[in-house]
Amino acid sequence: MSEAKRRLAGWDGIIILLTVAVLVVASLTVPTFGNGRNVTFLILDLLPIVLVALPMTMIVVTGEIDLSVASTLGLTSSIMGYLWNRGMAIETIIPLCLVAGALLGAFNGFLVTGLGLPSLAVTIGTLALYRGLAFVVLGDGAVADFPWNYTGWVTGTLGGGRVPHVLILIVSLALIFGVVQHGTPFGRSLYAIGANAQAAHFSGIRVARTKFWLYVVSGAVAGLVGVLWTLRYSSARADNGSGLELAVVAAVLLGGVSIFGGKGSLPGVLAGVVLLTALQNALRLEDVSGQALNIVTGALLVLSVLLPNLATAIRGAWQRRKLRQAAAQ
Amino acid sequence: MLRSRQLLAGTAATLLVFGAAACGGTTKNNSSDTGSPAPTAASANPNAPLKSGLKIAYLPKQLNNPYSDVETSGGKAAVGELKGEYKLVGPNDASASSQVSYINTLIQQQQDVIVIAANDPNAVCPSLNQARQAKIKIVSFDSDASKDCRDVFINQATTEGIGESLVKMASEQAGGSGEIAILSATPNATNQNAWIDVAKQTLKKPEYSKLKLVKIAYGNDDDQKSFQEAQGLLQSYPNLKVIVAPTTVGIAAAARYVSSSSYKGKVAITGLGLPNQMREYVKDGTVKKFALWNPADIGYLAAYAGAALASGQITGAEGEKFTAGKLGEYTIGKDGEIVLGPPTEFTDANIDQFNF
């Protein structure tokens, strides 16, 4: 089987088809779903999830996780508000926020690779730590007077049409991450690490160094999203983005990335993000309540973990039966 | 080596995208226009009839909060009177940005009026202005959105109104003279401190000259601490006539202490409380009178204000008048504020009409 065919037959293929199906059905049945303004809203809604999911996919493929992303976002948002209040220029603040995000990621990376601690525990710890620091930096208040040419750019569209500016950012970053993950030796090494870190180490892959840099990139992207979030809502707050890590991990798993590492593709994850956001958007337009939305998202996530495992189990049982029959003859 | 270089290059590229913009130097001090452009108001026609069939949507801070349930129930009743379509949507969490998706949805659904209690006055602004560009009227209640992204704000009560009402009730129950004490929330609670400041000013008026404020105690809006503080006040000031608690936690705790002590009937408790929490103390005679704005009226007034806006009777400018059903006539104040009125006073005679 060719690579493309194998992929289509796998879980990520199913998710891509399902996403297309949801988009088609929603456009046909929900009157306002397909119109230009809603597409703009949809893209703005999926912006933070999709950007954070790019490095998260790589991290989960290596068998690790980064749950601190939303708190990194909140802390960079706080830092942004703090520096703005101190009179620093926004053009200086934005790169500083990305560096701050990268440093926060590097701290995660150091704890995971330098000290060899489990990433789940480390990033749950920094999830609380970074969020706490965010409140130390900015307190309960909000900073809101960011310049209109920046906040307007984030929510604005190309030439006043229906294509939001941020779509350029999403597409270019997705392309960069997609090429690195699926078209370079580095990308292949992530799968090797996830499948068997020890074997990867003995075949010459620098496992620790690779993971360390993945956390740095994850932190930097979370910092970038912190900036975008702050500008989109014109509001720097310590509680910005809380709970986002769950939406990201849900989308990554839904997209067919194995939580145990070694498996998954970026197109699948992108489809997972679109599926989750589009479904929520369409159901909301149909006046489905927030609680019911949570039920749908939760059920989808459980199914996405359950179904591939079930399929593997059934296939395994089928093969064992065939083997037994062959042995009996 | 190549691998980490590639990653570094990726990070650097992202940094550069933004670094490239780093030559202008926009700071807090030199960026003058910080708000998104608000649509300009049309002129009002006070005689325009109220339209029927208006789609009025309520977006409280979060769903399933008992207090906002009462507010929106008033809205539902008003929308019924107006023969409009009532809708209630809202997030499950009261976070700053979760309301934005709901506003966007309401824009898509072409509502006529959005009645919102903003979780963050600024985070909802760009979306609210998009809604206004789509000819949707915005009424804020409970907690205001930034004033350049809504048409009117329903203010439950002014600081002056609450402060004066607290002194008036204390004076009534002290019989016009004697020692009173305040049992507040935390020492830095913004609302409570503003009310207490007004109360202190009001006490300087000649008609209240025989009242003496002996102490301000802080129960930190914690039931047990408030209970102990009430106890402490009564022991330290044997001549105390009234405890005024401008917080629902404080008044309930103080009433509970007094109702089970020998001070019952000798020391009066008043302030701001919830009828459901205070009912038993009103029934057993511990509390004669307390006050609070009526949350159902807030939602009710918001619906009529929204309908008046959508019908062109008002535009949100200062001095415009409209009639809000059973509540009567209202005049829009400065910055598009509509004040509900003096707080509702609850006594043994009327408390059973309220359930919140």
Q: In this predicted complex, what is the ipTM?
A: 0.76
pLDDT of residue A236: 92
Give B83-117 pLDDT, tens digit per residue.
999 999 988 877 778 899 899 999 999 999 999 99
Give A136-185 pLDDT, tens digit per residue.
999 878 888 898 888 888 888 888 778 899 999 999 999 999 999 999 99
Q: Is the pLDDT of residue B11 over 70?
A: no
| CA–CA separation, A64 and A116 (whole Å) | 12
pLDDT of residue B120: 85
Residue A3 resides in a domain = no
Do residues B67 and B113 share a domain?
A: yes
Q: B301 and B324 in contact (C-beta within 8 Å)?
A: yes
CATH classification of the domain holding A139? 1.10.3470
Q: Is the pLDDT of residue B42 over 80?
A: no
Q: Quick check: B8 and A213 CB within 8 A? A: yes
pLDDT of residue B186: 86
Chain B segment 133-172 residues within 8 A of A by beta carbon are: 146
For the residues A304-327, what does the mean pLDDT come to?
82
pLDDT of residue B12: 56
| CA–CA separation, B64 and A289 (whole Å) | 11
Q: Of B234, B257, B292, which residue is a domain's last? A: B292
Q: B104 and B77 in contact (C-beta within 8 Å)?
A: no
Of A95, A146, A210, the CB nearest to B34: A146
Residue B153 resides in a domain = yes
Range of the domain at A272: 34-313
Do residues B207 and B237 share a domain?
A: yes
pLDDT of residue B1: 43
| CA–CA separation, B261 and B259 (whole Å) | 6
Q: Is the pLDDT of residue B20 over 50?
A: no
Per-residue pLDDT band at A220 (split at 50, 70, 90): very high
Residue B255 resides in a domain = yes
Residue B3 resides in a domain = no
- With CA atoms as reference, the chain B residue closest to A175 would be B10
Do residues B164 and B251 share a domain?
A: yes
Q: Does A148 touch chain B (CB under 8 A)?
A: yes
Q: B238 and B133 in contact (C-beta within 8 Å)?
A: no
Residue B27 resides in a domain = no
Using the structure block, give the residue that is written with the tokens 């807030």: B298
Residue A324 resides in a domain = no
Q: B35 and A146 in contact (C-beta within 8 Å)?
A: no
Do residues B263 and B199 share a domain?
A: yes
pLDDT of residue A299: 87
Dihedral angle sign, alpha carbons of residues A75, A77, A83, A86: negative
Number of domains making up chain A: 1
Chain A segment 2-61 residues within 8 A of B by beta carbon are: 32, 35, 37-38, 41, 45
pLDDT of residue A317: 86
For the residues B264-286, what does the mean pLDDT come to?
92
Whole-model pTM: value is: 0.79
For the residues B227-246, what does the mean pLDDT come to?
95
Per-residue pLDDT band at A289 (split at 50, 70, 90): confident
- Rg of chain A on CA atoms, in Å: 21
pLDDT of residue B34: 44
CATH classification of the domain holding B130? 3.40.50.2300
Token output for A180: 């690195």
Do residues B76 and B198 share a domain?
A: no
Per-residue pLDDT band at A252 (split at 50, 70, 90): very high
DSSP state of A164: B
Do residues B131 and B222 share a domain?
A: no
For the residues B173-199, what does the mean pLDDT come to?
91
Residue A139 resides in a domain = yes
pLDDT above 70 coverage of chain A, percent: 97
For the residues B126-132, what does the mean pLDDT come to?
91
Residue A9 resides in a domain = no
For the residues A18-26, what does the mean pLDDT come to?
93
HEC-encoded secondary structure of B21-78:
CCCCCCCCCCCCCCCCCCCCCCCCCCCCCCCCCCEEEEECCCCCCHHHHHHHHHHHHH
Residue B352 resides in a domain = no
Give A119-132 pLDDT, tens digit per residue.
999 999 999 999 99
Q: Which of B17, B23, B28 to mutate to test the interface with A (most CBs of A within 10 A)?
A: B28
| CA–CA separation, B2 and A247 (whole Å) | 32
Per-residue pLDDT band at B342 (split at 50, 70, 90): confident
Strands B329-331 and B85-88: unpaired
Q: Which of B4, B6, B7, B58 to mutate to test the interface with A (most CBs of A within 10 A)?
A: B7
Residue A26 resides in a domain = no
> In sequence order, what are the residues at sequence separation of 6 or more whose Cβ sits closer than 8 angstroms to the Cβ of residue B336?
B147, B150, B151, B152, B153, B316, B317, B318
> In sequence order, what are the residues at sequence separation of 6 or more whose Cβ sits closer than 8 angstroms to the Cβ of residue A104?
A68, A72, A75, A76, A126, A130, A219, A222, A223
| CA–CA separation, A90 and A88 (whole Å) | 6
Q: A62 and A218 in contact (C-beta within 8 Å)?
A: no
Per-residue pLDDT band at A310 (split at 50, 70, 90): confident
Number of domains making up chain B: 2
- With CA atoms as reference, the chain B residue closest to A238 would be B96
Give A259-270 pLDDT, tens digit per residue.
899 989 999 999
Give A72-104 pLDDT, tens digit per residue.
999 999 999 999 999 999 999 999 999 999 999
| CA–CA separation, B330 and B336 (whole Å) | 12
Q: A78 and A138 in contact (C-beta within 8 Å)?
A: yes
Half-sphere CA count of A80, side-chain side, radius 13 A: 35
Range of the domain at B334: 55-157+295-341
Instruction: Provide the mean pLDDT of chain A.
Output: 90
Residue B15 resides in a domain = no
Of A32, A144, A184, the CB nearest to B6: A184
Q: Which residue has the higher pLDDT, B190 or B319?
A: B319
Within 8 A of B109 by CB-CB distance, chain A residues are 32, 285
